[in-house]
Structure 1
């Protein structure tokens, strides 16, 4: 099951974990939760996204992900560090980033590297 939480209140980092078979309704739910977290953090935050279990998004979920990315940018997201290992998921992620005009995303092979990037920068 997909989830989100405030991972670091001081560093203002929100964690999103996508399930291997994430549905459009789950994406909507996560988007609403991120809005609440963003308000708690004062409207400026970074995101670490764990997609290690995702191999491929369904077309419906991929379309919903574009909306999600646009929304969280509007909520105040500065940067996203995405942990992704599946080749197809990487390609889909690059496509959704282009469609949502999301230019502050970096991709990482390990969760630890992604988190270190957000905490150091």
Structure 2
């Protein structure tokens, strides 16, 4: 099951850990939680997205992923550092980022490096 939490309040970093078995309801729940976290963090935050266990989202979730990316931008996301383990996930993310006009996403192979980038 996907999870989200604030991992660094001073740096205003929210973490999302996705799972391949994510459902449309999971996207809605994560969006609601991020909206609440945004309010707690003053309306501006960065996101560390952990997709190391996701090769790609199921095709029926593509539209939900685009909606999710648009929503969290509206909630105040400034940058996203996405940790992936495969090229298929990266291709999918590149496609959905274009559809959601999300231009501040970077992709990483290493979780620690992605987190360090967001703390700069």
Q: TM-score range by the shorter chain?
A: over 0.9
Look up the match of 1:86. 86
Task: Please report how far the alpha carbon of residue 58 of structure 1 lies from its aligned counterpart in structure 2 after TM superposition.
Answer: 1.1
TM-score (norm 2): 0.97
Q: What is the root-mean-square deviation of aligned Cα atoms in Å?
A: 0.7
1:4 to 2:38 alignment? no
Dislocated runs of 4+, deviation >6 Å: none
| Contact kept? 2:84, 2:90, Cα under 8 Å | yes
Q: What is the total number of aligned residue pairs between the two structures?
A: 120
TM-score (norm 1): 0.97
Using the alignment, how far apart are the partners of 2:56 and 2:68 within structure 1? Answer: 17
Look up the match of 2:45. 45
Task: Please report how far the alpha carbon of residue 59 of structure 1 lies from its aligned counterpart in structure 2 after TM superposition.
Answer: 1.6
Bigger CA drift: 14-23 or 103-112? 14-23
Q: Which runs of 5+ in 2 are unaligned?
A: none
